Amino acid sequence: MIHVREFTTNDLAFGMRLKTAAGWNQMEADWKRAFELEPHGCFVAEYEGRPAGTTTTCVFGDVAWIAMVLVDEALRGQRDRQSVDDPRD
């Protein structure tokens, strides 16, 4: 089961690890900006109790921005094989 929960500042190191593995250039300040823009719109997916992936979202008027979609390389390719425990349920 994949469990989705809100991103917290405790997840910054995890997010930084994933973006570095992906070869991206964001800095910790970029994650903090996303988190500050939409504190309840940034998420961590956990697989078997450990962080597996991230995403951030924010809304600017009529425009929504989804960013930082990252999955731990070791855990990719789970589509259609895992159900997701949606935090809104």
16 near ligand COA, judged by CB under 6 A: no
| Minimum separation from the CB atom of position 40 to ligand COA (A) | 20
CA distance 64 to 7: 18
Choose one: 1-9, 36-44, 57-65, 66-74; the region binding ligand COA (CB under 6 A): 66-74
Write out the binding residues for ligand COA, residues 69-88 only, by CB under 6 A: 69-71, 76-79
Contact 54, 18 (CB under 8 A): yes
Place of tokens 């997840």: 11
Contact 21, 57 (CB under 8 A): no
Q: What single-letter DSSP state applies at residue 50?
A: E
Judged by CB, which is closer to ligand COA: 57, or 78?
78
Binding site residues, ligand COA, CB under 6 A: 22, 69-71, 76-79
